[in-house]
Structure 1
Amino acid sequence: MTESFAYDTVTYPSMVHPQMHPCALAAIARLHGIHAASPAHCRLLEIGCGEGVQLLALAMAYPDSEFIGVDMSHAAIARGEVARTALGLGNLHLVAADLTNWDPGTRMFDYVIAHGFYSWVPQHVRECLLALCGKQLAPHGVAYVSYNALPGRRIRQMTWEMMKHHVRHLSDPQQRIDGAREFLMWLGENVPASKSYSGAVQAEAEHILNDVDPIVLFHDDLSDTNDSFSITEFIESARHHGMEFLAEASYSDMSDAMLTEECAASLIRLTGNDRVEREQYLDFLKGRRFRQTLLCRRTGKPSSEMQISSIAALEVVGALQTESGTAANLAAGKTERFVAGESASIATDHPVAKAALELIGKAFPQPVRFQDLLARSRTLAGSSAADAESVAEMLRTVVAAAFQRGLVDLQCDPPRFAATAGRCPLLSPLARLQLEQELPVLTSMRPSMVRLDSIPARELLRQLDGRKDRSAILYGLAASMSAMEIPGSDGRVERQPIDWWLEQLGPNLEDGLRDAARMALLVE
């Protein structure tokens, strides 16, 4: 099977990726002195867009911007066109075309995005992508290109080669997937014990079997074209087209926070002021396997250091909480540690900083404008007007550190969505369409992907049409559930009357609506 038909024959999972959202790209660019366009008024091109789920969310959030998606899969573009037409998105254009002979016109693009593309196309197509960026990226534009990174990808590459050898005589997609997975199970169970080889092989086989979607395995791991590049190689290619390294879209990947002070100092001695060389040596240390590199025009002359003052014009979002899970003690001199997830953390004893980090967590998933955050946290902490400028500088520094550690995101003009479920909650049109299509995951307005396996949760969302109040929502949900045959605890399939469902669902209705708002599925 040729690559050109593979994506028509086997549908690639359509996802959104928050790190390539223009509100995030614009924020990073501005932090480095590039005044990138606001996503609210921009022109964005996505290469290899699939059915354009990310573009659908963007076009809906930013009606005054223009979005173009190009993909070789006619089937994927056709599915995207169905959704685009249903949503009435005249600012989105989806094109089934080969990049090498597609005519982009003469207008510039503020953003060019290519995710999951560069490593899976031949060399001449990669050059075509970079040439397009060099020719048609706006003066303050940003390009996002993801690719398999070296040297970390070498371990996975070894496994790819073994799997492809094992299924080399198979052409049917499902047989190739099944054959590759059977081989991985055999390999993981039988590789002889050794100090290094067996551990690496077993870990890789276990990861692919447990964490990689079988369809992704087919398209990515078993692809005839699946190349990896060092950042040095990639940036050298980009520079041939007048492009320069800006940053990584996953900004915390550039952090040296995990290094000892001695190692960090030696890294400076090894790489000096060369940012790309620094990134290369960090890859040597971390074994990074995948990069999401941002490029800008070399003439833009991006600053090598983050311009912390730029944070004042941005917005902050993050699922922060104190390490203890209790309310922060805002008293001066009392240190509080804040976390988001299980890895990174940040500690501070400054009352305003503690109030701000707590406010960010309480607002999540809603972003908070930095200036509003500063004003509200100063009020909570009782900060005097006399030290206003020093407090503002301190808070910008704290937010910058949290951003560099991956605890918060910085955004420029992020998409807006309902913070709470109002009197008559309204589900976003895109999520409603995806529910109607019976898709297993929904696209939020952040955007992110939301998986809802609960039948009552999905049926609740169907009721949120912007016209029903709580009573009507509950009755509609109960009526919908009463029409279904649901397996009971004894395994028997049976129906329950509306009154039974009203009694069961009533106490949890508000929690379900609150969850819908927290998942950013509701609009005003």
Structure 2
Amino acid sequence: MTTLYDSVRYPNWPNTRTHPATIGALAQLLGRPGAPFGRCRVLEVACSEGVNIANMAVGAPNSEFFGIDIAESSIARGEETIGWAGLGNVRLRLADIRDEQAVQGEFDYIIAHGVYSWVSADVRAALMAMIGKKLSADGVAFISYNAFPGCRVRETIRDYLVYVLRDAHDPQQRMEAARAALEYQMSGWSAEKPFQKALLEAAQDNLNRPIEVLFHDEMGEVWEPQFLSDVADAARAQGLDYLADAHPSVLNDGLFPSVRFDAAKKHTGGDWVKFEQLLDFTDMRPFRWSLFCRAGEKIERIATPDRVVGLYASADLTPASGPGKKAFAFRARTGVEFETDDPALGGLLGRLASEPAVLLDEYAGSPDVVEAILRLFVNTAVTLATAPPIFTRSPGKRPLASPLARAQARRGEEVLAALHHKPVRMIDPFWNSFLQQLDGTHDHEELAQFVAASTGKTIDESRRLIPAALEEVAGNRLLMDAVKAQNA
């Protein structure tokens, strides 16, 4: 059966919020630790070409990854790429989730990203029922979806596109017409009027993304945003409890004592789902990354210092320049600056500025340091994971790039899966050929010989180019620490 995803390819990129090491860290903070990333079984529903799970598999050779999708061309393309990458721990299958035989066995992590609010009610029911049956005892399920009430603005954008495209049926024609229609309509909205300003921002957000995303998302046949409370009720009917949202910024009331939660009790009775649903009306949140676990055991939402044992912190920090009022000052990649006089916290932040990841075990006995790190975590300045990253910033004598990125480069992709589980864009065709040489067998002189032969540069020019080229690749988190990968 041919689908629209066979006609129009959907961008298939890794998503860091779906990574088991990231999900596992959050679950551990809430007192529900899951299976270790290095030895787990992961299922992704609607996996497309499988890039998301294949990139996970690079860092966990002893784990198993399965993906299902209904688009035949996506599965075929993914299987070819995975084969080129030599990833024997990933399997893709053409299957419909409504088929009870589509998924076999239990899984420690089940991922359904960008599915739930774009499929019919019977598919949503089948998805939730499958999770109820196939999630392991300590497993965690990830379900993302457009959320009401925040999606009311985006709903207006969709209504407009459905109207203006009612006579356009060819996919390419629809995409071109949608872009032109949005640009036209934006010219008539005023940023001085609050609702029109919101529409302008939503429309611009759509135009900033690949047009294929707009085609499948806002212009999809099914577009049914959900209330968190309804999704949680559907999960509860399958023996599942709502654990948390996977976006760190939503966790402030979940990891620390919350004045807002206490104040809302007269409306919620202390029910966590009802509380977060009220917050969705307050914050007008348009999207949810909901995590679910097996019902039965109490969820301890206030994090205690001991729960960081076994977790790795990472951050893109630099020492802040200029005079500071306190002894230690740092700037996050987002531009936010923070400072402290605490030598233990300052020392940890200094390590985070220079090391790919820091194991937090030694800080578990320092409640103030742990609280500071968790507050940086909910403000997205620090990431937490149950496993260290496998990328390296040092190319070594024989540089080794991610096998998946090399396979994508062989396919001619411009957006590659990086080893911090984010997409990186490398547009120049030079990178496609150069990355394929970084298989761990070529030293810097051999790489220079390759560059000279393929670009026409002199050998001396090529030798001077190699350090900068490798620095670019390493900076994009595409180079592997082979020892870490083997020991994962």
TM-score, normalised by the number of residues in structure 1 = 0.85
Aligned equivalent of 1:433: 407
Q: After the TM superposition, which parts of structure 1 deviate over 6 Å for at least 4 consecutive aligned residues?
A: 261-265
Deviation at 1:166, TM superposition (A): 0.9
Deviation at 1:256, TM superposition (A): 6.0
Aligned equivalent of 2:486: none
Question: Mean Cα displacement is larger for which, 223-232 or 275-284?
Answer: 275-284
Code of the aligned partner of 1:512: A
> Deviation string for 1:395-436 (max 9, x for gaps)?
222222211221111111245233411011112211111111
1:502 to 440, 460, 464: 460
Aligned equivalent of 2:443: 469
Asked if the contact 1:27/1:412 (under 8 Å) is kept, the reply is: yes
Match of 1:450, SS state, is: strand
Deviation at 1:225, TM superposition (A): 0.4
- Mapped to 2, the partners of 1:105 and 1:447 lie a distance apart of 25
Query: Could you say which structure has the greater relative contact order, defined with CA pairs below 8 angstroms and 6 or more residues apart?
Result: 2
1:521 to 475, 478, 481: 478
Match of 1:142, SS state, is: strand
Match of 1:522, SS state, is: coil
2:350 to 358, 365, 385: 358
> Deviation string for 1:136-163 (max 9, x for gaps)?
2111100000000111110011110110
- Mapped to 2, the partners of 1:453 and 1:106 lie a distance apart of 39
- Mapped to 1, the partners of 2:110 and 2:375 lie a distance apart of 28
- Mapped to 2, the partners of 1:348 and 1:269 lie a distance apart of 38
Are residues 90 and 464 of structure 1, via their aligned partners in 2, closer, same or farther at CA, if it must alter by over 3 Å?
Answer: closer
TM-score, normalised by the number of residues in structure 2 = 0.91
- Please list every run of 5 or more consecutive structure 1 residues that lacks an aligned counterpart in the other structure: 375-388, 483-497
Deviation at 1:204, TM superposition (A): 2.7
Asked if the contact 1:345/1:407 (under 8 Å) is kept, the reply is: no
Aligned pairs for 1:161-240 within 5 A: 161-191=159-189, 195-209=193-207, 211-240=208-237
Match of 2:187, SS state, is: helix
- Mapped to 2, the partners of 1:513 and 1:118 lie a distance apart of 40
Asked if the contact 1:159/1:201 (under 8 Å) is kept, the reply is: yes
Aligned pairs for 1:389-408 within 5 A: 392-408=366-382
- Mapped to 1, the partners of 2:124 and 2:38 lie a distance apart of 29
Deviation at 1:192, TM superposition (A): 7.3
Are residues 191 and 88 of structure 1, via their aligned partners in 2, closer, same or farther at CA, if it must alter by over 3 Å?
Answer: closer
Aligned equivalent of 1:452: 426
Deviation at 1:88, TM superposition (A): 3.1
Match of 2:137, SS state, is: strand
Deviation at 1:348, TM superposition (A): 2.2
Asked if the contact 1:62/1:415 (under 8 Å) is kept, the reply is: no
Deviation at 1:44, TM superposition (A): 0.9
- Mapped to 2, the partners of 1:93 and 1:463 lie a distance apart of 26
Equivalences, count: 478
> Deviation string for 1:272-306 (max 9, x for gaps)?
63322232232222221111110001123221222
Asked if the contact 1:346/1:402 (under 8 Å) is kept, the reply is: no
Are residues 472 and 89 of structure 1, via their aligned partners in 2, closer, same or farther at CA, if it must alter by over 3 Å?
Answer: closer
The alignment's C-alpha RMSD in Å is: 2.6
Match of 2:217, SS state, is: helix
Are residues 78 and 102 of structure 1, via their aligned partners in 2, closer, same or farther at CA, if it must alter by over 3 Å?
Answer: farther
Code of the aligned partner of 2:472: D
Are residues 222 and 507 of structure 1, via their aligned partners in 2, closer, same or farther at CA, if it must alter by over 3 Å?
Answer: same
The percentage of counterpart residues that share the same residue type is: 32
Question: Mean Cα displacement is larger for which, 22-31 or 59-68?
Answer: 59-68
- Mapped to 2, the partners of 1:470 and 1:116 lie a distance apart of 42
> Deviation string for 1:214-266 (max 9, x for gaps)?
10111111112011112112111111111111111112223369xxx987874
- Mapped to 1, the partners of 2:228 and 2:304 lie a distance apart of 23
Residue 64 in structure 1 maps to residue 22 in structure 2: no
Aligned equivalent of 2:326: 334
- Please list every run of 5 or more consecutive structure 2 residues that lacks an aligned counterpart in the other structure: 483-488
Residue 55 in structure 1 maps to residue 53 in structure 2: yes
Aligned equivalent of 2:454: 480
> Deviation string for 1:356-408 (max 9, x for gaps)?
11211222xx2221236x5xxxxxxxxxxxxxx85x33322222221122111
Code of the aligned partner of 2:473: A
Aligned equivalent of 1:494: none
Are residues 64 and 439 of structure 1, via their aligned partners in 2, closer, same or farther at CA, if it must alter by over 3 Å?
Answer: same
> Deviation string for 1:163-202 (max 9, x for gaps)?
0111112110011111112211221123478733433333
Code of the aligned partner of 2:101: D
Aligned equivalent of 1:308: 305
- Mapped to 2, the partners of 1:98 and 1:521 lie a distance apart of 33
- Mapped to 1, the partners of 2:221 and 2:431 lie a distance apart of 41
Aligned equivalent of 1:421: 395
Deviation at 1:271, TM superposition (A): 4.6
Aligned equivalent of 1:279: 276
Are residues 59 and 176 of structure 1, via their aligned partners in 2, closer, same or farther at CA, if it must alter by over 3 Å?
Answer: same
